[in-house]
Amino acid sequence: MEDKDIKNLTALLQERTLKLMERESELADKFEELESQKEELTAAVEELIQKNTDLNERNQELDQLLYRASHDLRSPITSMFGVLNLLKSDSIPEGIKDYCLHFERMMHQMNGVVNSLSLLGQSTKESIEFSEVNIKSVVVDEINLLSSLPNASSIQFRKHFFGNEKVYVDEVLLRVLLKCLLSNAVIFREKGVGYVDVGIVTTDSKLSLEVQDDGEPISAQVAEKMFDMFYRGSEKSIGQGMGLYIVRKIVSRLQGQLHWETRKDAKAFIVSIPLVPLRVS
């Protein structure tokens, strides 16, 4: 091999060696950058885990607060209702009767707040527990529990069941869902006399629930906010603005679907819940 060829090969080798060294330096810089990003990502993940832990603790504290508030307030409210009933049973001046009626209205409002807190606490319970439930019995029970609401005695409740009578679902969440939808149908109405239709259709994998009533129609303005917490669609409402918010929360937890429809002289809320969810939140 001639000296010229050797020189050319040597030069080529040196050139490639320099390129390899440059590439190695670039890789070292990239590795250092990746290590830095890894440390930042690790710190961010640790911070996220800590925030999630703190959030879970706060949620547990809020759940306990909701439970204690609804539980501790219920006893004095019950006692005040008892005292009020005693006063109403005695012969009292007309002027005092007016005060008693006002006091009674205030007590019902306070009781409504306590009931809303209790329902909210039940809807946010930590775990979802599935069990076999007789859907027909649950619907009948929840309708019977509405008797204390204004207008309930003048409303005709019509029930329609199709499919499996027994379903596998979280009974607590199902009852709260029904209670909120039915209460909403009773409370939000201008006229006392009317109807509420409850339709249940079940299959092996899905429960469809529809609550239709002839109460006040839902305007476009109300529709935008009616699922928000504390929103009341009417100044005449005696509700606390929690019912539909809780409904949406429960449907989301059960991985279902919720929508509403305006029909001729009626409105309806339709809920669809998978009975065998792929994932439980």
- Which residues, 6+ apart, have CB-to-CB distance to 177 below 8 Å? 209, 246, 247, 250, 251, 271
The whole-number pLDDT of residue 140 equals 93
DSSP code of 126?
S
Q: Is the pTM of this model over 0.85?
A: no
The whole-number pLDDT of residue 233 equals 66
Sign (positive or negative) of CA dihedral 83, 88, 91, 94: positive
Distance between alpha carbon 129 and the CA centroid of its chain, in Å? 16
| Paired tokens of 172 | 């607590």
The whole-number pLDDT of residue 53 equals 73
The whole-number pLDDT of residue 181 equals 92
The whole-number pLDDT of residue 108 equals 66
Nearest to 123 by CA among 77, 74, 66, 168: 66
The tens place of each residue's pLDDT in the chain, 281 residues long, gives 566 767 777 777 777 888 888 888 888 888 888 888 888 888 888 778 777 776 666 666 666 666 666 666 777 777 777 777 777 666 777 667 777 777 777 776 666 666 666 777 767 776 788 888 999 999 999 999 888 777 788 889 999 999 988 888 888 889 889 988 998 888 877 666 789 999 999 988 899 999 999 877 777 788 788 888 777 766 655 556 778 888 998 898 888 999 998 888 888 999 999 886 444 44
The whole-number pLDDT of residue 178 equals 92
The whole-number pLDDT of residue 276 equals 66
Distance CA 182, CA 65 (A): 26
The whole-number pLDDT of residue 264 equals 83
Distance CA 275, CA 207 (A): 7
